[in-house]
Amino acid sequence: MQILKSVFLVIGLLCSLVGTAHADQISNYVKDGVAIGGADPVAYFTQNASVIGSPDFTAEWNGVTWRFASAANRDSFKADPAKYAPQFGGFCATGTSFGKKVPIDPTQFKVVDGKLYLNSSPGAQARFLGDEKGTIMKAQGIWPKIETVPADKL
């Protein structure tokens, strides 16, 4: 009987871990197994550019793997991940303002008031740039309602 209880306990723990990992990938844009498609979130701030990170420099945060172009960028992120992580889990800021979780194009970005916003396409980026503050405010109001909802359910 004790063995059976232990087996159920282990199965329960494993199920909760699998559920957590899945939920983290729901709340964060993950492509090819890495956050924001492997772009280095620190480079947006330090180089004002989209730079693809290396599998040699990674960090785990918010239940997903992040890549960096250098050890220095990785260490900066690890020291203050919330400072560098994109808003809205790395999903398209413009899409979020419409209640959608849209995959991003890492080359479509803007840092506004010290926060990183990513977009899905040149069109979404143009719309974002046309009303940065309005888009951000609308997306901030919607994000808490959709953060834990799978993209295909929106």
Residue 85 near residue 44, CB atoms below 8 Å: no
Lowest average pLDDT, out of 19-33, 45-59, 74-88, 105-119, goes to 19-33
The domain containing residue 117 runs over which residues?
Answer: 86-148
Residue 121 near residue 105, CB atoms below 8 Å: yes
pLDDT of residue 3: 57
pLDDT classification of 24: cutoffs 50, 70, 90: confident
pLDDT of residue 142: 98
pLDDT of residue 135: 98
Could you tell me if residue 103 is inside a domain?
A: yes
Could you tell me if residue 136 is inside a domain?
A: yes
Could you tell me if residue 133 is inside a domain?
A: yes
Number of structural domains, the chain?
1
The residue among 80 and 18 whose pLDDT is bigger is: 80
Residue 64 near residue 36, CB atoms below 8 Å: no
Could you tell me if residue 25 is inside a domain?
A: no
Could you tell me if residue 76 is inside a domain?
A: no
Could you tell me if residue 142 is inside a domain?
A: yes
Which residues, at least 6 apart from 81, have a Cβ–Cβ distance to it below 8 Å? 59, 61, 62, 66
pLDDT at residue 27 is higher than 90: yes
pLDDT classification of 102: cutoffs 50, 70, 90: very high
Q: In degrees rounded to 5, what are phi and psi of residue 140?
A: -60, -35
Could you tell me if residue 15 is inside a domain?
A: no
Q: In degrees rounded to 5, what are phi and psi of residue 23?
A: -65, -40
pLDDT of residue 25: 78
pLDDT of residue 86: 98
Could you tell me if residue 77 is inside a domain?
A: no
Instruction: Name the average pLDDT for the chain.
Output: 88
